[in-house]
Amino acid sequence: MSSTGDKVKGMANEAVGNVKQGVGKATGNDKMRAEGVRQEQKGEAQQAIGKVKDALKKGIDKA
């Protein structure tokens, strides 16, 4: 997957994770809140992977 694709998927997962956390907190659903935390963390990791890919590509392009 491209670095942009990783970053976009990461942002989407973070957003959905935040929503799940909010709904879980509002309804007292600890399971949904935990799912939201995990999904948000997954999104953060995907964005980090995209940033690393960008950095590597820039390094290779300069060489």
The pLDDT of residue 46 is: 96
The pLDDT of residue 34 is: 98
Q: Could you give the number of structural domains in the chain?
A: 1
Contact 39, 9 (CB under 8 A): no
| Residues 48, 29: Cα–Cα separation, whole Å | 29
Question: What is the rounded average pLDDT for all residues in the chain?
Answer: 94
Domain containing residue 51? 3-62
DSSP-derived 3-state class of residue 26 = helix
pTM beyond cutoff 0.85: no
Tell me: pLDDT of 61 over 70. yes
Bigger pLDDT: 2 vs 23: 23
| Residues 17, 31: Cα–Cα separation, whole Å | 12
